[in-house]
Amino acid sequence: MRSVKSIVAAGAASLLSSAAFAADMPSIMPPPMSYAPPPIEDFGGWYLRGDIGFSNQNVKKVLDTNAAAYNNVAVTQTSGFGSAGIFDAGVGYRFNNWFRVDVTGQYRGNSNFTGLDVITGTGPLAGFVGTDNYTATKSELLFLANAYADLGTWWCITPFIGAGVGTSRVSIGNFTDTGDFITLAPAQAHSFNYAGQASQWNFAWALHAGLAYKVSPGLTLELAYSYVDMGKGMTGPTNSFDQVTNTTHAPFSFNNITSNDVMLGLRWELNSPPVYAPPPLIRKG
């Protein structure tokens, strides 16, 4: 009898001990710690840029700066520049995903110029007709401070617009002016003007638009269009040979030089945003 009581007492003690241990344990195990990536933030920082492209240039008028040369004549002019290569480099700062600024220096290669004046006398020179054929080369240095607005990203493409202001150094060289005239006599006359290279600094401005594609977190590819106004250019003093004498005259002016540029460029971020990587897996047991 005593042995039965001992067995019952031992069983009751074991049950009470198990119940107390169960009460000390939490009813539900906590979920494993989550390793979600940090929220995406607007990222700003310094960048370098480089561009290559080509120009499509125009000039409004080519004129002899000696105003008296155009007394009593009417001039109809056609002219244009050939395309030329463009190379630039710059440094900029992106404030966030919507706004950035940069400063660029650009070399614009030699472009060949041809022009034709058809001249008709008026008033006392009625009956006088002639032509002037022009040739020249032109190159520029262009320095701009630019601001851009990035307009959001769709299918990995970010359109942008921008504007810039700065200065241009326009160089005109190898200028020639060959004239053929029928005078009032009538008698045929010929003339030839030439001028050495000269350069002039001007105020310049530009408008930009384009598309950007982020190749990697630190590298962006751009395809852009720019409309650029570079002011005017001047030749050196002209030297005239009119079959009799060789004399020096006023220079010629290339007024209102503009260009429609197409550029392909790269931007390198100097402090790229960190790339999130999940924590390593830990194998237990």
What confidence score (pLDDT) does residue 8 get? 46
Global pTM? 0.76
Q: Where are the alpha helices (DSSP H) in 25-106?
A: none
Q: CA-to-CA distance for 231 and 256, rounded, in angstroms?
A: 5
Mean pLDDT on 111-136: 84
pLDDT at residue 16, rounded to an integer? 47
Q: Residue 225's closest CA among 212, 213, 211, 210?
A: 210
pLDDT tens, 176-234? Answer: 998 887 765 555 677 788 998 999 999 999 999 999 999 998 999 999 999 999 999 99
Interior/surface letters 168-204, b for 16+ CB within 10 angstroms, e for the rest: bbbbbbbbebebebeeeeeeeeeeebbbeebebebeb
Helix (H) or strand (E) holding 12: helix 2-24
Cβ-based burial of 259 (10 A; exposed 0-12, middle 13-18, buried ≥19): buried
